[in-house]
Amino acid sequence: MRLTVRKADSLDIGVLAGLMTELSGHYMSESDMANRLKLIEESPIDSLYICENGERIVGCLGFRIRENIEETIPNCYGEISIIVVDNTARRKGVGRFLMKYSEKLAKDQGCIGTWLVSGFGREELAHIFYKELGYKINGYRFVKLLQ
């Protein structure tokens, strides 16, 4: 399967909404996805990419540059903010292709590495996948919702 990547655009909103629903398990409307895509397009650090197999969209990748100022020598990392593969295209190399693409984006922008956050409940598949690609667990994310 020949895979290609391009930046997401407004014509992709329907498929993107479906992919985000798959990723989160919560319905995302096309209107909500359109709003998110607008925010991404206005952001100086965020990008959203579409992966196609020549016939259809099979996945997407959210990517951003993160400055890391707390280290001895300031540097940056590429953050994989979203990675999702359509459920009918899984285990066919799409995820590996997107991860490799994100690493190339990071390297091309002078980053020293890539990182991502993956939630609990994904240990059986996603976490094993990331470890196979050489990613290491290096901490926790702490969240406090403000209401």
Whole-model pTM above 0.85?
A: yes
For residue 31, CA distances in Å to 22, 28, 55, 97, 109 come to 17, 8, 25, 29, 32
Q: Across all residues in the chain, what is the average pLDDT?
A: 91
pLDDT at 71 over 80: no
Each residue of 94-141: pLDDT tens digit?
Answer: 999 999 999 999 999 999 999 988 877 666 778 888 889 898 988 887
In this structure, which long-range contacts are made by residues 85-89, counting pairs with CB atoms below 8 Å and at least 24 apart in sequence?
85/51, 85/58, 85/59, 86/18, 86/19, 86/22, 86/57, 86/58, 86/59, 87/22, 88/58, 89/53, 89/58, 89/59
Collapsed DSSP state (helix, strand, coil) of residue 39:
helix
Q: What per-residue confidence (pLDDT) applies to 120?
A: 77
Rounded Cα distance, 138 and 136, in Å: 6
Which CATH code fits 4-132?
3.40.630.30
Rounded Cα distance, 130 and 124, in Å: 11
Rounded Cα distance, 117 and 132, in Å: 16
